[in-house]
Amino acid sequence: MSRQITLTPDDIVRLCERIEGAQARARAIPKLTDEYPNMTSDDGYAVQHALRKRFLAAGRRLVGWKAGLTSRAKMIQMGVNAPSIGFLTADMARPESSAIKTSDMVHPRVECEVAFVTKAQLQGPGCTRQQVLDATDYVLPAVEIIDSRFAGFKFDMPSVIADNGSSARYVAGGRARYAADLDLRTLGVVMEKNGEIVATGASAAVLGHPAEAIAMLVNILAEQGEVLPAGSFVMSGGITEAIAVKPGDSIVARFQELGSVSMRFI
């Protein structure tokens, strides 16, 4: 299937700089399709690719990828109808139990995810859940801190893809486990904010099985002529809707079988 690119190379540079500026200054911008109404998801990935090149050229290190919008709850929350992917760099990671600054984000939200660490390269098209499980070294619990750079968290697929799937920070922790020792479809998750339960879910919410989201991610990478290398850290998508956080909030995400991940926001 050929990619549908409507943006010119100049447009791609312009939009990449606009996203980079919004991320660096923590400033909300209008969604990109307000100015480019014909933008496609492939255009969004072209902007995301330009952003990745720019970040890596500036010395940031690619550690893996994230699947986003992989649960019905998230798609309904955000008004979109397909999953997306984004890249993760080492500087986005925050230690477990740490204090995370919010002044360098626009309007952060947190979501519980199962993360996979791979031990073999995965390549699409046609990558399957079983191939993902065979290539997985271990899984561990994670919290993704997303931060759409679009005003009011209002966007569409091309815009959110260009904004690297709202990637901002992530915290991995808990207990690393072999995927074969768990039933990854039925893991229960509870998110607490300031001691109150604010979201609950089961991992099957992510496309029926979180490894399915990793297979989808590998197949989207293949459309862009890329593979998922061994040693990648990959987040499979929010199990529940995302919860807004502000300075003073403490978050604990409790995962059945995988332990908990906590952090506070300042």
Quick check: 22 binds ligand 0L1 (CB under 6 A)? no
The Cα 254–Cα 235 span in angstroms is 16
Binder of residue 166, out of Mg ion, ligand 0L1, none (CB less than 5 to 8 A by kind): ligand 0L1
From candidates 237, 249, 255, 258, binder to ligand 0L1 by CB under 6 A: 237
For Mg ion, the closer of residues 7 and 206 by Cβ is: 206
Contact 237, 83 (CB under 8 A): yes
Give the Cα separation of 211 and 187 in Å (integer): 13
DSSP H/E element including 167: strand 167-172
Nearer to Mg ion, 7 or 115 (CB): 115
Taking CB under 6 A as the binding criterion, the range among 17-25, 63-71, 117-125, 217-225 that sits at the site for ligand 0L1 is: 63-71
When binding is defined by CB under 6 A, the residue of 74, 107, 129, 193 that contacts ligand 0L1 is 74
Query: Which CB, 11 or 163, lies closer to ligand 0L1?
Result: 163
| Binder among 69, 92, 112, 115 for ligand 0L1 (CB under 6 A) | 69
> Where does this chain touch Mg ion (CB under 5 A) — which range of 6-14, 40-48, 139-147, 246-254?
139-147
- The candidate with the shortest Cα–Cα distance to 253, out of 92, 178, 141, is 141
Assess contact for 96 and 239: CB atoms under 8 A.
no
**Residue 10 beta carbon to ligand 0L1: minimum distance, rounded to whole angstroms:** 26
- Of 215, 242, 258, 263, which one interacts with ligand 0L1 (CB under 6 A)? 242
Query: Rule CB under 5 A: is residue 147 a binding residue for Mg ion?
Result: no
SS3 helix, strand, coil % of the chain, rounded to 5? 30, 30, 35
DSSP notation for 138-155: EEEEEEEEE---BGGG--
Residue 241 binds to Mg ion (criterion: CB under 5 A): no
CB of 2 to ligand 0L1, least distance (A): 26
Instruction: Identify residue 259 by its one-letter amino acid code.
Output: G
Range 221-240, binding Mg ion (CB under 5 A): 238
x-marked contacts with ligand 0L1 along 128-167 as a string, rule CB under 6 A: ----------------x-x-x-----------x----xx-
Sequence-ordered list of residues with C-beta below 8 angstroms from that of 265, at least 6 positions apart, any chain: 99, 100, 101, 102, 108, 245, 246, 247, 248, 249, 250, 251
CB of 238 to ligand 0L1, least distance (A): 5
Alpha-carbon span 24 to 53, nearest angstrom: 16
> Closest residue to ligand 0L1, Cβ-based?
68
CB 27 within 8 A of CB 56: no
Residues 6/31, Cβ–Cβ less than 8 Å: no
Q: Which residues of this protein are in contact with ligand 0L1, per CB under 6 A?
A: 66, 68-69, 74, 78, 144, 146, 148, 160, 165-166, 237-238, 242
